[in-house]
DNA sequence: ACTTGACCTAAAGTTAGGTTCAGGTATTAC
DNA sequence: GTAATACCTGAACCTAACTTTAGGTCAAGT
């Protein structure tokens, strides 16, 4: 069992954020002793899940819905499973998008390295859009798809 | 040369967003004919870069700074190169974080699949935190690092 | 002439996800 | 007994990145 201050330390989250999450209904079963929140292992795991779902792009309201399902027993297992499967697909997709972004950044790193060597962008721009060295062309194409 | 409406179509960005970018200084050299914006190839490539830098987590103000450097000639090549190298590192890092998120999601997919089969979470919770099947344990550990 | 459609501006409004503030309680340390 | 700490609340505030609104220009078609 932990106080809000201890949990704040554990996760590096401000106390105000934890209280905000509670206010938004993300800890529906949290225990209180004379008004003071006691975070149990269930809430600790909930915070891991909250962080995960947030990074996956979910909004607080939707996360609240999930936490609600968790209090409703085994009948909501299929709903919860579906939620995680959708999130998984969404994150897999997002990682693919990030790879495109990364290829654009790698292309631009090459671009400016060469521009510095050449003293100008002229040579490079003469190679655009399809006369770049093969490996760089692949980055450029991927980024501009 | 394109009108704002054509560019909006090309990128799937609202016209209001393009005007907002212009107001924020993201197209420092855009041509206007009797008040109407003409987007040249330079602005088209700028939008590709803006999208990329936004996805990399940069703020509009910082992107404006970069666009400013682009108008200042070859003396700013090193600054621009450094910016892209920092962005590349940052995105590489972010992708690693996303892999952790993904492993949590994969773990939870397994969790609910098994909970549905078993009819309850009891069996699973008895395996936590370190008696899970090896492949699942790896996901769990990665996600809870 | 007049209506339609695509463009323009400045300024106000919106949203999510917090953060800060003002004022209060409860426990422990001296 | 009083002072420091750690907790509490509701309400106001904040920020980035847009979006909407209200009012206006201008060219082409009928």
Same domain, B52 and B96: no
Same domain, B27 and B59: yes
Give the domain CATH number at A1: 1.10.1660.10
| Residue A133 is assigned to a structural domain of this protein | yes
| Residue A101 is assigned to a structural domain of this protein | yes
Asked if the Cβ–Cβ distance from B112 to A77 is below 8 Å, we say yes
Nearest-by-Cβ selection for A101 from B52, B104, B144: B52
Last residue of a domain, one of B10, B42, B71: B71
Angle at alpha carbon of residue A24, lines to A19 and A30, rounded to 5°: 60
Find the mean pLDDT for residues B106-129: 96
Q: What pLDDT digit, counting tens, does each position of B96-109 carry? A: 999 999 999 999 99
Q: Is the pLDDT of residue B15 over 90?
A: yes
Find the mean pLDDT for residues B55-71: 96
Dist CA A93 CA A145 (whole Å): 15
Q: Is A100 exposed, middle or buried (0-12, 13-18, 19+ CB in 10 A)?
A: middle
The four Cα atoms B100, B103, B108, B113 give a dihedral, to 10 degrees, of 170
| Residue B123 is assigned to a structural domain of this protein | yes
What local confidence, expressed as pLDDT, does residue A38 receive? 96
Dist CA B75 CA B34 (whole Å): 33
How many domains does chain B contain in total? 2
Same domain, B64 and B97: no
For chain B, what is the total number of helices (H) and then of strands (E)? 7, 2
| Closest residue of chain A to B118, computed from CA coordinates | A74
Q: Would you write out chain A's pLDDT as a tens digit for each of its 145 residues? A: 999 999 999 999 999 999 999 999 999 999 999 899 999 999 999 999 999 999 999 999 999 999 999 999 999 999 999 999 999 999 999 999 999 999 999 999 999 999 999 999 999 999 989 999 999 999 999 999 8
Residue B91, φ and ψ in degrees, nearest 5: -70, -35
What local confidence, expressed as pLDDT, does residue A91 receive? 97
Domain of residue B19 covers 1-71
| Residue A82 is assigned to a structural domain of this protein | no
Mean pLDDT of chain B: 96
Same domain, B67 and B131: no
Q: Is the pLDDT of residue B61 over 90?
A: yes
Same domain, A46 and A14: yes
Q: Is B77 on the interface with A (CB under 8 A)?
A: yes
What local confidence, expressed as pLDDT, does residue A145 receive? 86
Nearest-by-Cβ selection for A94 from B48, B92, B98: B98
């Amino acid at each position: 069992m932990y106080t809000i201050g201890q949990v704040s330390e554990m996760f590096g989250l401000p106390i105000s954020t934890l209280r905000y999450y509670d206010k938004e209904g993300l800890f529906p079963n949290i225990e209180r002793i004379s008004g003071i929140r006691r975070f149990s292992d269930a809430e600790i795991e909930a915070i891991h899940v909250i962080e995960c779902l947030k990074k996956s792009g979910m909004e607080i309201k939707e996360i609240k819905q999930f936490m609600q399902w968790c209090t409703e027993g085994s009948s909501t297992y299929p709903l919860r499973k579906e939620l995680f499967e959708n999130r998984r697909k969404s994150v897999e997709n997002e990682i693919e998008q990030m790879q495109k972004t990364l290829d654009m950044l790698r292309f631009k790193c090459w671009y400016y390295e060469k521009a510095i060597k050449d003293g100008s962008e002229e040579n490079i721009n003469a190679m655009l859009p399809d006369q770049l060295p093969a490996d760089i062309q692949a980055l450029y194409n991927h980024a501009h798809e």
